[in-house]
Copies of this chain bind each other. A is one copy, B any other.
Amino acid sequence: MKPVCLVIGAGAGIGGTVGKRFAKEGYHAVLCRRTDQAGLDKLVDAIESEGGSASGFLMNAIAADSIEERVAQVEADVGPIEVAIYNLGAQIGDRSLDNTSAKAFEMGWRLGTLGLFRLAKAACPYMVERGGGTLIVTSATAAVRGNAGQHSHAAAMGGRRLLCQTLNAELSPRNIHVAHVVVDGSVDAPDTLGKMLGAERFQALRDTKGAEDGLMLPERIADTYWHIAGQHRSVWTHELDLRSFSDLPWWNH
């Protein structure tokens, strides 16, 4: 039975690409996303066509018990969740206080903070029981500073970051690696930009102009997620930042 890499938030960007990478390295990828059965099927097919193993589930992560039931089902029927990736975003664009409803603020928290708590609470006891595991959390600039119009997003991501620290404090001594990845830039979206340009031109863009324009390539982000998951437990990284060479770090804007 293959070890499982569970991805919460497996679109065509970071989440799906990280799932692909872990599948390529021998994991069974369990890919969860809210909508787009066709996109999900395509992702699973792509993994299987390369000889990998994957399952896809449409899942509304903010629905009661959704994450909890998925974790239980995977552990029961698919395999041990050795790696969990929490990749749900909570960005809703810049909105003034007046234009940020309490509902939008709560939605940010449900996606940005509570969902991670629920995933950790559901999946980590299995990891503790088995003596180890990895939880990688995709995060954002808004986790380290609040900017204008980011009331919902920054509150949610600021909570996410410190939750990662409390999880690490409890779980690291139990051999569970918790990592908080600050994605400080715009991630390249192959499904949209790639289709527009066609494969060849798109690849050229990504190799050169893409990064020069500050686009971050999901495949390369996946390299770092894979590296984190493989770090020896004597040298674990809890937090790192990622951005394009051509982009200003958040502290230099």
Chain B residues positioned under 8 Å from A109 (CB to CB) = 109, 113-114, 159
User: Is A23's CB within 8 Å of the partner chain B?
Assistant: no
Copies of this chain: 4
Q: Are B145 and A121 in contact (CB under 8 A)?
A: no
Q: Are A237 and B224 in contact (CB under 8 A)?
A: yes
Residue of B nearest to A108 (CB): B159
What's the tally of chain A residues with a CB closer than 8 Å to chain B?
A: 82
Pick from B149, B235, B243, B251: contact of A224, CB below 8 A. B235
Q: Are B146 and A154 in contact (CB under 8 A)?
A: no
Pick from B147, B173, B231, B244: contact of A234, CB below 8 A. B244
* Pairs across A and B, CB under 8 Å, 19 listed: A97-B124, A98-B121, A102-B121, A105-B114, A145-B251, A146-B168, A150-B169, A154-B165, A156-B159, A158-B158, A175-B245, A221-B235, A223-B230, A223-B235, A224-B235, A233-B245, A235-B243, A240-B240, A250-B251
- With A210-B234, A224-B237, A237-B242 given, name 12 new contacts (CB 8 A): A102-B118, A105-B114, A145-B251, A146-B164, A151-B167, A155-B160, A165-B249, A211-B234, A216-B234, A217-B234, A223-B231, A234-B245
